[in-house]
Amino acid sequence: MESSAPAPSDPSDIWSVFVLRNPAGRCFVGHTEHLDQFALTADTEVAKWTGQPGPWPIVWRHDKLSRKAALKFEVSLKRDKNTPRFYTRTGLTPPDIESPGTLPPENKG
C-alpha cells in the first residue's frame, strides 16, 4: 500500500479508498467515510453503481486519509485499473480471464 498521502488533521475526517471484486474478476474502486457501513449494503445495492452481479467483497483498502487525499488516490487507482500498475499498487493478482474465442478444456473421463 502507498502511504504518501497526508493524514487528516481532523480525526472525524477519516476516509478510506477501497477495491471490491466480484467473482467474475471485475473491480470497483471507490472512497467513503464509512467503509464498514458501505460494505454491509454493497451486495444489496450493487446494481445501482456497477450494474454487475455480486457478491462484492472488499479485497483491498487504504485507510486514514483526508477526504481530498482519498478522492485523489481513488482517481489515480481508477486511471490505472486496467493496467499492470493497478495490481502492483494494490498487491492484488489479476483475475484469470480466458481469451475471447477459446473453448474451455474438455473433461475427459
Q: At 86, which CATH number?
A: 3.40.1440
Q: What is the pLDDT of residue 79?
A: 97
- 11 residue type, one letter: P
Q: How many domains in the chain?
A: 1
In a domain, 82, yes or no: yes
In a domain, 9, yes or no: no
In a domain, 5, yes or no: no
In a domain, 39, yes or no: yes
In a domain, 103, yes or no: no
In a domain, 107, yes or no: no
Q: How far apart are CA 91 and CA 76, in angstroms?
A: 15
* Alpha-carbon distances of 8 from 40, 52, 84, rounded to whole Å: 25, 33, 29
Check: CB of residue 77 under 8 Å from CB of residue 70.
no
* Domain span holding position 70: 15-90
Instruction: Encode pLDDT of 5-42 as tens digits.
Output: 555 456 667 999 999 988 888 888 999 999 888 877 76
